[in-house]
Amino acid sequence: MRIEFGGAFADLLNEKGKGSGDNEMGYVERTLGFCTRDLDDRDLRLVTDIVGGTIRWRRYLDYLILSLCHDENTFRSMEPLLLQILRISFYEILKLEMPPYAVVDENVRLAKVALRSGAGNMVNGILRKLVLLKEKNLLPTPKVEGDDRAQARALATLYSHPVWMVRRWTKYLGHEKAIELMMWNNSDPSFSLRANTGRNFTRSDLVIQLKTLKVCLHRGTHMLLHTDTVA
């Protein structure tokens, strides 16, 4: 809500300054009227992932929410907080692949506490419809057809990028390369690590240390790449 309406940055959960995790949780309590539990480091990372991912995929998520509402007026008149809850829920189910029953239960309760019982019922209905379509592989998909402008709009929705950016990339790179770039742009980042051999710390030493920390990794040509965050 603060990002969309207050111009706040997506990196809300840093350790210092006004954007700290404690301040954000305090903001939730003050504005929505219910308390949140203290979050450990792992949960803070999950919250950061959910916030960032929901923002990145908002165009696609809104397309799906609108499709499942079957009524543009219902979507356009939806309360901002209710829409955010649905966006978060859709992202958790589709992109994070969390257990659907847990996502439905958690966000229905959230809507009831933050808004009212009717909002929870609406969230329940839409999410159950989403889960059913996902299980049957029948999720709505924008058709990439028509002139260049229409195709750019469809690709912008499907891969959640600004239309002007899609048009520019497809013009200079072609459709396939533009799609590859958009997919990479919205993927989770990996981290590259290099052993400091100048201090007698070898690549093998680094591998052993990372495996001790249970970090998922694979060897690169020049560096080590790991795909999980060090605990």
Domain assignments of the chain as residue spans, ordered by start:
2-135, 148-185, 191-226
CA–CA gap between residue 62 and residue 51 (Å, rounded): 15
Stated as kind and residue range, the H or E segment containing 64 is: helix 58-69
Average pLDDT, the chain: 85
Unique residue bearing structure tokens 């459709």: 175
Q: Band of the pLDDT at 16, cuts 50, 70, 90?
A: very low
* pLDDT greater at residue 17 or residue 125: 125
The yes-or-no verdict on residue 78 having pLDDT over 80 is yes
The yes-or-no verdict on residue 7 having pLDDT over 90 is no
Task: Name the CATH architecture for the domain at 2-135.
Answer: Orthogonal Bundle (1.10)
Q: Phi-psi bin for 160: left (phi > 0), alpha (psi -120 to 50), beta?
A: left
Least confident of 10-24, 71-85, 102-116: 10-24
